[in-house]
Amino acid sequence: MAEIVRRLRPGQYWRIKEHESWFSDMSEQGLHFYEIGTHFAKFKKGDRKRMDYRLELAKSKYISSEKIRLFEESGWDYIASDRNFHVFASPTDRKANEPPIDREEQITVANALFKKTLISFIFILFALAALFWLIGGLWFNDETPILILIEGHMFTTTLLYLLNIFHLISMAMGLLGIARIRRDMKEGNPDDRQKPWENFYRNNLITYVATLVLSLIAACIPIYQLLHLGTVTLPEEDPTLPFVRLAAIENAPHLERDVFMIDGEDWRNSYSENWSIVAPVQFKMKENFIEKKGQWSDPNNSYNPSISAEIFRLSFHSLVAPLVEDLITEHTFDDETELFTEREHDGFDRLLVRLSDRNKEFIFVKEQAVMYIDYSGEVEADVIIVKAAEKMMLLTES
């Protein structure tokens, strides 16, 4: 039994002359085309031969026995079909006549193929336009696109959308190619010249591999993110976590955790992790304290300090400045008059502070690490800044 060799088939089916050249060159290398599938063409390994190939546009894979007989009378053997063309071959030394291709029939087939491709093109174009509106809204609705990029939850959706844009471009090129074939047939100027296939085959191979790799990345990223997602109870002490803790700044033994348990986790004192390509280290945390009941000076339990944080270590320093701007946008409401102001501090590349009657907010920047802290309580801002500088070292030295 002859050895079977598979080669990735060019997706650009309208480039008929390049296909004919490809099959001929394969035969000269001892690989003789005999079957074509969705993604691969099959060749039987044998003796090197000089073969000529001709392709005829087809409405479907069906070919009549009458047509096969007509081609055989002209010296051409039927080889295979796919949904777009039939393939015939003849040894070069047989000196076969040009195959009896019906020009009017080919124009009809080209018209049908053009119409079918055009309908698909318009449908995909409208679908992508609708998705563009939807995806654009998700990216820019909160006016924090860099924060959305860094959190990474839209990465896969956007990547798949861009792959479909590429598919649409390829389809548009197909329309132009079919239109050119149809025009040449109508004008009675069929292109009889053999054309080199190497460039378009190489480009098709690169495109195929790149599409496959990007599709695998798009599929794997959500799985990897899911493995890193999850909210867990904040441990009482864990020096490896880059969090400024209430116990470290309040210095008040009359306080205890304000606990709210759901499914075994304390959601008022918890943290979650996330991962993305542009920010492989991400944390969100929150912690709430309340005065112990019954034995302390305030019978109303009115002092309830809290702290929350968003922490990022970025892959690229160029994202630091836009992330800071997005954090300011995210945490600023329309009715707020207080603004973040810059402060100088040796422990940070940038330090932004906003103080109000209700909260003390900070944005710390050190190299590629960014930390946002929102504190509500009576502790002075400088105490929090000192502790943040210590925790920032965990992000910049690891």
Mean pLDDT of 305-322: 95
The answer, yes or no, to whether residue 300 has pLDDT greater than 70, is no
The answer, yes or no, to whether residue 255 has pLDDT greater than 60, is yes
Q: Say which range, 110-119, 146-155, 219-228, 307-316, has the weakest mean pLDDT.
A: 219-228
Mean pLDDT of 224-248: 87
Instruction: Give residue 288's pLDDT.
Output: 94
Q: Say which range, 109-113, 134-138, 202-206, 305-309, has the weakest mean pLDDT.
A: 202-206
Tell me the pTM: 0.74
The answer, yes or no, to whether residue 223 has pLDDT greater than 90, is no
Confidence grade of residue 129 (pLDDT, cut at 50, 70, 90): very high
The answer, yes or no, to whether residue 291 has pLDDT greater than 60, is yes
Instruction: Give residue 225's pLDDT.
Output: 82
Q: Which residue has the higher pLDDT, 294 or 7?
A: 7
Q: Which of 389, 357, 359, 358 is nearest to 374 (CA)?
A: 359
Q: pLDDT digit string (tens) for 41-70?
A: 999 999 999 999 999 998 888 999 999 999
Instruction: Give residue 299's pLDDT.
Output: 56
For the chain, the maximum distance between any two Cα atoms, rounded to a whole number of angstroms, is 109
Residue with tokens 């006016």: 143
Burial class (CB in 10 A: 0-12, 13-18, 19+), 140: exposed
What crossing angle do the helices spanning 155-186 and 103-140 adopt, rounded to 10°?
160
